[in-house]
């Protein structure tokens, strides 16, 4: 257990569905991230939140919508996805002044779009 919990672990959704991925941390970190991991591609940063404020959107399509209601929770709302959006979505956290320990990742949500 890393202290970063992602739910669900697996998700299958149709292209017209709306679903949400959840990330919860108990580390007291101030920065939270969404990464996308597709087969045979580098991990891609999607969004960055610092102190609940979005500080980076890495040209992510609008069918992905992040939300950070408090410092412990991060959501990724999904709607009208495409099959190429199937991937492992990873949440990560960090504490900028204590990054000697690197970033802490959750186990990810394996998303399949059918």
Question: Can you tell me the distance from the alpha carbon of 40 to that of 43, in angstroms, rounded to the nearest whole number?
Answer: 9
β-pairing verdict for 18-25 and 4-7: antiparallel
Q: Which is nearer to another protein, 3 or 14 (CB)?
A: 3
Q: Say whether residue 18 binds another protein (CB under 8 A).
A: no
Token reading at 6? 């992602």
Contact between 104 and 3 under an 8 Å Cβ cutoff? The reply is yes
Q: How far is the CB of 12 from another protein (least distance, A)?
A: 17
Write the interaction track for another protein spanning residues 26-65; mark x where CB under 8 A is met and - where it is not. Answer: -----x-x------xxxx-x--x-x----xx-x-------
Q: Which of residues 87, 94, 111, 113 is near another protein by CB under 8 A? A: 94
**For residue 89, which of 68, 109, 70 has the smallest C-alpha distance?**
109
Q: Which is nearer to another protein, 81 or 91 (CB)?
A: 91
């Amino acid at each position: 257990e890393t202290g970063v919990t992602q739910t669900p672990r697996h998700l299958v959704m149709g292209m017209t569905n709306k679903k949400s991925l959840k990330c919860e941390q108990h580390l007291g970190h101030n920065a939270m991230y969404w990464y996308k991991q597709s087969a045979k591609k580098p991990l891609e940063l999607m969004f960055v939140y610092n102190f609940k404020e979005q500080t980076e959107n890495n040209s992510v399509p609008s069918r992905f919508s992040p939300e950070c209601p408090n410092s412990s929770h991060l959501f990724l709302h999904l709607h009208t996805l495409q099959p190429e959006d199937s991937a492992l979505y990873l949440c990560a956290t960090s504490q900028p002044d204590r990054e000697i320990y690197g970033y802490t990742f959750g186990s990810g949500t394996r998303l399949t779009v059918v």
